[in-house]
Amino acid sequence: MNKRYLMEIANYSNWVDNSIIKWLEQINDEQWDKEITSSFNSVAKTVTHIVSAKKVWIDFWKNTPNPVFLSANFTGTKKELIEIWKKTMDDYDNFIEGYPEENYTQIISFSVRDEEWSMEFAQTVLHQNNHATYHRGQLITMLRQISFTNFSNTDLATYFIKKKI
């Protein structure tokens, strides 16, 4: 994995996140909080999980002592969460851009649910993107269930094609 490809993954992730933020800004508070059967039982909780995971990976990469998952204690508004998300996107992009390519195989150790894990840095970036994609798919289904249909295409091929324009 080289710097160019890892940055493409980060840029794609943030491009999709920006698309989703535009969708979320169009839904009302009732749609945001409506209970829906899924991994997380509302759009709000699913988005909080997506943002929390992206944010905690930055903490893992920085070897932050005792990183806290945002989803464990966030009680703010949709607007507040979107602001946190935008800052996290900037932090994500800046961290990956500044991370030395020669350290892509560096082992990142982290704890999830009191279990210790280790992966190479580049693998963690791929995992973070894959994890976000999984939950974004759930989010689209949930948004459809609350009658939101004003989607844009967020497929990776669309990103590459639009990037050329």
Q: What is the pLDDT of residues 84-101, one digit of tens each?
A: 999 999 999 999 999 999
User: Of all residues in the chain, what percent carry a pLDDT higher than 70?
Assistant: 99
Rounded average pLDDT over 126-130: 95
- Average pLDDT along the chain: 94
pTM of the entire structure? 0.94
Based on the number of CB atoms within 10 Å of its own CB, is 123 exposed (0-12), middle (13-18) or buried (19 or more)? Answer: middle
Q: What is the pLDDT of residues 36-88, one digit of tens each?
A: 999 999 999 999 999 999 999 999 999 998 888 999 999 999 999 999 999 99
How many residues are there in the chain? 165
H helix and E strand count, the chain: 6, 2
- CA 133, CA 76: separation in Å to the nearest integer? 24
SS3 45: helix
Rounded average pLDDT over 156-160: 94
Q: What is the pLDDT of residue 121?
A: 97
Residue 165 has pLDDT above 70, yes or no: no
